[in-house]
A and B are shown apart, each in its own frame.
Chain A
Amino acid sequence: QKEVEQNSGPLSVPEGAIASLNCTYSDRGSQSFFWYRQYSGKSPELIMSIYSNGDKEDGRFTAQLNKASQYVSLLIRDSQPSDSATYLCAVNGGMRNTGNQFYFGTGTSLTVIP
C-alpha cells in the first residue's frame, strides 16, 4: 500500500509569517512530487512540482525534497490571507498500464490570520 501522509491541521499562521507544510511518503521508488492548493469548494490547483533532492523556489513558495528521509515539504513565505486553503501533497507512484498513478495525502488546512 503506497501512502502519503500529511498533518491534517488546521495550521494557523499570522499574516507575513512562514507557513511550513509537511508530507511523508512510503514508496521509496517515487520520483515526482507535487503540491496542490485547494480552496474551499474548488478543485485542486497545481502550485509546485519537485523531482530532485533539495530546494525549489517559485516566488513565495519553496518545495523541499529529501528522498532519503522520504519527506517533502512546502514553505510559504510572507503568508497572505489569500493563501488560506487546503494543501494536498501528491506523489507520482510511477507508470502502470493505466498511466501515472498519483497518490494524494489527506491535505493540510492552512489559515492565515490577518
Chain B
Amino acid sequence: SAVISQKPSRDICQRGTSLTIQCQVDSQVTMMFWYRQQPGQSLTLIATANQGSEATYESGFVIDKFPISRPNLTFSTLTVSNMSPEDSSIYLCSVDANTDTQYFGPGTRLTVL
C-alpha cells in the first residue's frame, strides 16, 4: 500500500475564492486520481492525473473549474476555482500504487460559505 497525505485537512472558504489541495505520496505512482464525495453520497471521480501530461476529466468536470497539476510521480494538486456553496464536499486523492487497487488519502473537507 501507499501512504498518502493531503493538505489542508479542512477549510472554510468564501464564495468566489479558490482553494488548492495538495496530495503527497510516499512512493512513485503512475496515476493519481481526484474524487469528490458530497454529504451522504458515494465517490465521484473528478479527474485522473498522469505525470507529464494534462489531466483527464470526467463528464461534468472541466479544467477551468478544477485545474490539476502533476509535477512529479509523488505529488499532485487540485484547485477548486471560483467556489460556490455547491462545491462544499470532501475531496479525496487516491493512487493505484502500480497495482489494480486504489488507496485513498485522508481527504480535505471543504465548506464554502
Q: Say whether B12 faces chain A, with CB atoms less than 8 Å apart.
A: no
Which residues, 18 to 51 on A, are CB-close (under 8 Å) to B?
A: 32, 34, 36, 41-46, 49
Residue of A41, A92, A98, A104 near B42 (CB, 8 A) is A104
Number of residues of chain B lying within 8 A (CB) of chain A: 23
The majority secondary structure among interface residues of chain A is strand
| Docked-complex contact A99 and B50, CB < 8 angstroms | yes
Interface string of B80-113 (1 = CB under 8 A from A): 0000000000101000100011111111010000
Residue of A34, A45, A98, A106 near B31 (CB, 8 A) is A98
| Docked-complex contact B42 and A49, CB < 8 angstroms | no
| Docked-complex contact A43 and B56, CB < 8 angstroms | no
Number of residues of chain A lying within 8 A (CB) of chain B: 22
**B107 proximity list for chain A (CB < 8 A):** 42-43
Q: Say whether A100 faces chain B, with CB atoms less than 8 Å apart.
A: yes
| Docked-complex contact A46 and B103, CB < 8 angstroms | yes
| Docked-complex contact B106 and A100, CB < 8 angstroms | no
Q: Say whether A112 faces chain B, with CB atoms less than 8 Å apart.
A: no
**B104 proximity list for chain A (CB < 8 A):** 36, 43-45
**A65 proximity list for chain B (CB < 8 A):** none
Residue positions of A touching B, CB distance < 8 A: 32, 34, 36, 41-46, 49, 88, 90, 92, 97-100, 102, 104-107
Residue positions of B touching A, CB distance < 8 A: 1, 30-31, 33, 41-43, 45, 48, 50, 56, 90, 92, 96, 100-107, 109
Closest 6 CB pairs between A and B?
Answer: A99-B31, A98-B48, A43-B104, A106-B42, A98-B56, A43-B107
